[in-house]
Amino acid sequence: MADIWSDQARYATWTEVEVLATQAQAILGRVPESALNDIRSARVPSVAQVVAHERERDHEILAFLAALCEGIPEDSARWVHLGMTSYDLVDTAQGSTMARACDLLLGAAVRLRAVLADQAVAHWHTVCIGRTHGMHAEPTTLGHKFAGFAFAIDRSVRRLRAARSEVAVGTISGSVGTYALIDPFVEEYVCAELGLGVEPAPTQVVARDRHAQLLHVIALLGGCVEQIATEVRLLSRTEIREVEEPRPAAYQGSSAMPHKRNPTSSERLVGLARLLRGYSGTMLENVALWHERDLSHSSVERVVLPDAMIVAHYQVSAATALVAGLQVFPDRMRAAVDLTNGLVYSSAVLADLLERGTERERAYRAVQAAADGAGSGDADFGTLLRAQGVDVGPLRPDRFLVHHDVVLKRLESLRELED
């Protein structure tokens, strides 16, 4: 991902756009074939070449064009950039770059979705306690947790694909988007060759709401990864320790406390999600440009676009490694289910009483009284209910998982999706 956004890669893409534009002009008969051949043969300028020219010109695109034309005979060089303005080059090339970056990020997100789905199936029957408000609620399974995360990433994949189609556009339409000095065929040809759409009503630039949408989608993807990482962090706490991050043999968690096994990988993923949310807000500021354009968006995009894509790709890739190597402790999970002397079965008991015809308030109070006693350590929940004459039958987690496989069927359809 970093290579895609490097200065040298940018100049390579700019060169490609200039060559394609010249090819289109040659098809129209505006550029001699000999000049086209010379321009095709030109080498991509080096970063050092462009920097040297930029010191004199204080304009990166003009510096690039000067460096590109160094290797082209003078009679042919005059046909480079014919009828184009700077952002015909920059935005069209950037559309191509963002398409490639989105494809790389999509590949990483699809891999994370697959790993989550696989873990969901592998732990579909690994019973654990569900928690609401941080408190014990009802039994669930670790597989169900993973399934929820898998579907969240799937939604992110679909959002990212839609955002990719919005940013994968270009424009070669002149200084204010009216095609005053260039035939629209040049734009159609170049964008088709690059696999890009065309901005339907250009100004001097591609509309920046497209980029804002992409960054919003990336921030949402980061938030979904953060949710996974937060669950791992919470379940890794000493008093819970139901899961643990994968560790290398030489792992050291603290410079002072050798016993520490900190969830640092998960914490890192949470921090990166905060960065992505910040980038999203910043990109929204680029939507409203003055008239046909101003330059306020440029400095922002030079930082935010590569950084956000690199951060997102790293975050998703690191999350995949975390989920794939996660250590799971089923015995700790089952112990947590049994920790509260049967209190987690209160909703099942209440439902049974209501089905038998007991009045709701009376049933609720009876169950609540037994729960309060069990919570105080008087006896286990079932014993206290039986003392009230309530026949509870066996209290087992499978009481809550009768229809659980309906989610598994949905998950199987997710696993069948192609990359």
Question: What number of other Cβ atoms are within 10 A of residue 29's Cβ?
Answer: 8
With a cut of 90, say whether residue 316 has pLDDT above it.
yes
Percent of the chain exceeding pLDDT 90 equals 82
Q: What is the mean pLDDT of residues 327-345?
A: 93
Distance (Å, whole) CA 383 – CA 371: 11
Q: What is the mean pLDDT of residues 171-177?
A: 96
**Contact call for residues 405 and 345 (beta carbons, < 8 A):** no
Distance (Å, whole) CA 215 – CA 308: 8
Q: What is the mean pLDDT of residues 10-14?
A: 98
Distance (Å, whole) CA 156 – CA 163: 10
Q: What is the mean pLDDT of residues 134-157?
A: 96
pLDDT at position 360 is 93
**Contact call for residues 124 and 141 (beta carbons, < 8 A):** yes
Distance (Å, whole) CA 179 – CA 271: 45
pLDDT at position 418 is 60
Q: How confident is the model over 274-306, as pLDDT tens digits?
A: 999 999 999 999 999 999 999 999 999 999 999
Q: Which residues face 328 on adjacent strands?
A: 243
pLDDT at position 386 is 87
DSSP letter for each residue of 249-312: TT----SS-TT----HHHHHHHHHHHHHHHHHHHHHTTSS-STT--SHHHHHHHHHHHHHHHHH
Distance (Å, whole) CA 3 – CA 400: 50
Could you tell me the pLDDT band of residue 83, with boundaries at 50, 70 and 90?
very high
Structure tokens at 193: 């060759």
pLDDT at position 64 is 97
C-alpha separations of 127 from 142, 228, 284 in Å: 6, 18, 44
* Lowest model confidence (mean pLDDT) among 36-45, 56-65, 332-341, 369-378: 369-378
Helix 47-57 and helix 7-27: axis angle, to 10°?
Answer: 80
Mean pLDDT computed over every residue of the chain: 94
**Contact call for residues 13 and 43 (beta carbons, < 8 A):** no
With a cut of 90, say whether residue 417 has pLDDT above it.
no
Cα four-point dihedral sign 274, 275, 280, 281 = positive
pLDDT at position 18 is 98
Distance (Å, whole) CA 280 – CA 95: 18
Q: What is the mean pLDDT of residues 161-166?
A: 98
Question: What number of other Cβ atoms are within 10 A of residue 202's Cβ?
Answer: 25
With a cut of 60, say whether residue 197 has pLDDT above it.
yes
pLDDT at position 390 is 84
**Contact call for residues 267 and 230 (beta carbons, < 8 A):** no
Could you tell me the pLDDT band of residue 389, with boundaries at 50, 70 and 90?
confident
With a cut of 80, say whether residue 94 has pLDDT above it.
yes
Structure tokens at 95: 């559309």
Distance (Å, whole) CA 32 – CA 26: 6
C-alpha separations of 231 from 7, 64, 134, 244, 252 in Å: 38, 48, 11, 11, 22
**Contact call for residues 317 and 108 (beta carbons, < 8 A):** yes
Distance (Å, whole) CA 27 – CA 109: 41
Q: Which long-range contacts (CB under 8 A, 24 or more apart) does 284-287 make?
A: 284/212, 284/215, 284/216, 286/208, 286/211, 286/212, 287/207, 287/208, 287/209, 287/212
Backbone dihedral angles phi then psi of residue 373, each to the nearest 5 degrees = -65, -45
Catalogue the active-site residues. 133, 254
Q: Which long-range contacts (CB under 8 A, 24 or more apart) does 387-394 make?
A: 390/349, 390/353, 390/366, 392/345, 392/349, 392/352, 393/352
pLDDT at position 419 is 52
The residue with greater pLDDT, 251 or 310, is 310
pLDDT at position 395 is 83
Q: How confident is the model over 99-134, as pLDDT tens digits?
A: 999 999 999 999 999 999 999 999 999 999 999 999
Q: Which of 345, 333, 355, 330 is nearest to 400 (CA)?
A: 345
Q: Which residues face 128 on adjacent strands?
A: 140
Q: How confident is the model over 49-74, as pLDDT tens digits?
A: 999 999 999 999 999 999 999 989 99
Backbone dihedral angles phi then psi of residue 130, each to the nearest 5 degrees = -85, 145
Question: What number of other Cβ atoms are within 10 A of residue 319's Cβ?
Answer: 29
Distance (Å, whole) CA 379 – CA 388: 13
